[in-house]
Structure 1
Amino acid sequence: MDADRLSFEAYVQARTTALSRIAYLLTGDHHLAEDLVQQTFLSVAGRWQRLAAEGDPDPYVRKVLYHQHVSWWRRARRITHVSLTGVDRPAPDRTDEVGVTVAVQRALARLGPRQRAALVLRYFEDLTEVETAEVLGCRVGTVKSQVRDGLARLRTLAPELADLLEVTS
């Protein structure tokens, strides 16, 4: 049992940074991304012995991460939001040196979770359509339509990213 615990701890140390980047792209919030990664590791910890024995646990861990994100999104939809009309809101950070990064993050944040997940898996994780469908638990045709619709929506929402989006098409 000690070897499994050490193996899991080593995996967590090795993969936390990469999974945190993916989680941030999905959530658009550093704190939510940290929570998402921690929840994913908690879900995987109970199955670690079997996962480690089967070989590469990364596909399963990514699948848990994406499913956990969709689950959070569904729960958040049911929560009623209080109107903040009249409340001062902080101005967005307009730092020039990270302009493209900020534009991509904002554009992704305006997509639905399925389109965002499909785009992150296809273009950030560089998974095939078949692998993306497996992670999301849907058909390849659904992945194709989610990516197509997501890119079209990004072109509308963030025309300043047109050059970047043409490379991904």
Structure 2
Amino acid sequence: MDTPEAFDRLLRDRSAALLRTAYLLTGDRHLAEDLLQSALTKTFQRWSTLRDEAAGEAYVRKVMVSIYTRWWQRKWNGERPTAELPDVELLDPYGAADEREYVRRLLTSLPRRQRAVIVLRFYEDMSEKDIAEALEISTGTVKSTASAAMTRLRTMIAEEQGPARVRQYEGGDRP
């Protein structure tokens, strides 16, 4: 039998009926597609030994039932349905940008010295001593300025109910 053309005709003319059979066997659209694909692969490998297209279709059905039976006989069946779905945090693709904009807006509302201390301390990860040298102020002034800035940021976050990730730092040492 002419392999590529006859097999293509079988796919074109009978794939919907074969998929329906697979669906009736599995009860699941995705499993039915997997089952049919597996059966068609095995059938294609044996296509040259089949008499005609009708025999090919019958062979596909036989292979589907055989594969499905093996699936059914296995102890492990892959996924298991559950009554309760696990809580999965969905990532908001714009959430990080929103948070950055929110923090940027908070920082720009601070007086210049407070903003400079916070940026150098938490974004540039500089020590208090290095910040004091860079701004030409004492280490004590850096500490008191950072404390005042953090108090002001926490107050603004609490009043505005900012993004959850930003609010989690209210008790910590980061803006």
The structure with higher relative contact order (CA 8 Å, sep 6+) is: 1
Q: Above 0.5 in TM-score?
A: no
Structure whose residues are more often helix by fraction: 1
TM-score by length of 2: 0.42
TM-score by length of 1: 0.44
